[in-house]
Homo-oligomer: A and B are copies of this chain.
Amino acid sequence: MLFHVQVEITLKPTVMDAQGSTIERALQKMGHDGVRKVRIGKFITLEIEAQCADRARAAAEEMCRELLANPIIEQFAVQVVEAEKECPA
Protein backbone atom coordinates (compact mmCIF):
# COMPACT_ATOMS: atom_id res chain seq x y z
CA MET A 1 0.00 0.00 0.00
CA LEU A 2 1.15 3.52 -0.71
CA PHE A 3 1.37 6.11 2.04
CA HIS A 4 1.91 9.84 1.78
CA VAL A 5 4.41 10.95 4.40
CA GLN A 6 5.41 14.44 5.55
CA VAL A 7 8.60 15.07 7.47
CA GLU A 8 9.33 18.32 9.31
CA ILE A 9 13.00 18.77 10.20
CA THR A 10 13.87 21.65 12.51
CA LEU A 11 16.93 22.79 14.38
CA LYS A 12 16.91 21.81 18.06
CA PRO A 13 15.73 24.74 20.21
CA THR A 14 19.20 25.28 21.70
CA VAL A 15 20.90 25.60 18.29
CA MET A 16 21.35 29.12 16.94
CA ASP A 17 19.59 29.68 13.59
CA ALA A 18 21.59 32.28 11.65
CA GLN A 19 19.38 31.97 8.55
CA GLY A 20 16.26 32.47 10.66
CA SER A 21 17.73 35.53 12.41
CA THR A 22 18.64 37.09 9.06
CA ILE A 23 15.15 36.57 7.67
CA GLU A 24 13.63 37.91 10.90
CA ARG A 25 15.60 41.17 10.61
CA ALA A 26 14.70 41.47 6.93
CA LEU A 27 10.99 41.02 7.69
CA GLN A 28 11.16 43.63 10.47
CA LYS A 29 12.89 46.10 8.15
CA MET A 30 10.12 45.51 5.59
CA GLY A 31 7.59 46.67 8.17
CA HIS A 32 6.55 43.41 9.82
CA ASP A 33 7.25 44.65 13.35
CA GLY A 34 5.32 41.90 15.11
CA VAL A 35 7.57 39.07 13.94
CA ARG A 36 9.70 37.10 16.42
CA LYS A 37 11.63 33.83 16.64
CA VAL A 38 11.84 32.99 12.94
CA ARG A 39 13.37 29.55 12.49
CA ILE A 40 14.00 27.75 9.22
CA GLY A 41 13.74 24.01 8.73
CA LYS A 42 13.12 21.48 6.00
CA PHE A 43 9.80 20.09 4.85
CA ILE A 44 10.07 16.80 2.99
CA THR A 45 7.19 14.97 1.35
CA LEU A 46 7.53 11.43 0.08
CA GLU A 47 5.56 8.32 -0.77
CA ILE A 48 6.38 5.04 0.91
CA GLU A 49 5.20 1.62 -0.19
CA ALA A 50 4.60 -0.32 3.03
CA GLN A 51 2.27 -2.90 4.53
CA CYS A 52 0.66 -0.47 6.93
CA ALA A 53 0.88 3.07 8.30
CA ASP A 54 3.00 2.07 11.30
CA ARG A 55 5.63 0.51 9.05
CA ALA A 56 5.61 3.51 6.73
CA ARG A 57 6.20 5.75 9.76
CA ALA A 58 8.99 3.50 11.06
CA ALA A 59 10.66 3.55 7.63
CA ALA A 60 10.45 7.35 7.45
CA GLU A 61 11.94 7.70 10.94
CA GLU A 62 14.80 5.40 9.93
CA MET A 63 15.43 7.54 6.82
CA CYS A 64 15.58 10.64 9.03
CA ARG A 65 18.12 9.07 11.36
CA GLU A 66 20.23 7.73 8.46
CA LEU A 67 20.17 10.55 5.93
CA LEU A 68 17.52 13.28 6.05
CA ALA A 69 18.29 14.89 9.41
CA ASN A 70 21.48 15.67 11.28
CA PRO A 71 20.72 14.14 14.70
CA ILE A 72 23.31 16.32 16.44
CA ILE A 73 21.61 19.62 15.69
CA GLU A 74 18.22 18.69 14.23
CA GLN A 75 14.99 17.07 15.36
CA PHE A 76 12.26 15.63 13.17
CA ALA A 77 8.54 14.92 13.17
CA VAL A 78 6.91 12.38 10.84
CA GLN A 79 3.28 12.44 9.79
CA VAL A 80 1.68 9.67 7.75
CA VAL A 81 -0.94 11.66 5.88
CA GLU A 82 -2.95 8.88 4.28
CA ALA A 83 -3.12 5.89 6.56
CA GLU A 84 -5.18 3.39 4.63
CA LYS A 85 -5.15 0.36 6.90
CA GLU A 86 -3.97 -0.77 10.34
CA CYS A 87 -1.04 -3.17 10.63
CA PRO A 88 -2.03 -6.86 10.71
CA ALA A 89 -1.57 -8.25 14.23
Contacts and interface: CB of A to CB of B under 8 A. Distances in A.
Interface string A53-87: 00000010011001110000000000000000000
Interface string A31-62: 01111111111111111111000000001001
A interface residue count range (under 10 / 10 to 19 / 20 to 34 / 35 or more): 35 or more
Copy tally for this chain in the complex stands at: 2
Main secondary structure of the interface of A (DSSP, over half): strand
B43 A8 contact: yes
Interface of A: 2, 8-10, 20, 23-24, 26-27, 30, 32-50, 59, 62-63, 66-68
In the A-B complex, the 4 residue pairs with the smallest Cβ-Cβ separation, listed nearest first, are A34-B49, A43-B43, A41-B43, A36-B47
